[in-house]
Amino acid sequence: MHLVARTTEPGLSDNVSFSRKILIGEQTMITEQTTTIIILLSLAIG
């Protein structure tokens, strides 16, 4: 019941979309770091 009451609050959808943006941003950063590590490893090996 508490969860249902919270979903009707104005602005909650904004918070959810904001959280998704943060999650997507973190995933992008992790991907960039992984790519950098792969490039450095390939340079070190090659």
pLDDT in tens, 6-43: 555 566 667 777 778 877 888 888 888 999 999 999 99
For residue 19, the enclosing domain spans 2-45
**pLDDT given at position 12:** 63
Q: What is the pLDDT of residue 41?
A: 93
Q: Is residue 12 a contact partner of residue 6, using CB atoms and an 8 Å limit? A: yes
pLDDT of residue 1: 46
Domain count, the chain: 1
- Sign of the alpha-carbon dihedral angle for 13, 14, 18, 21: positive
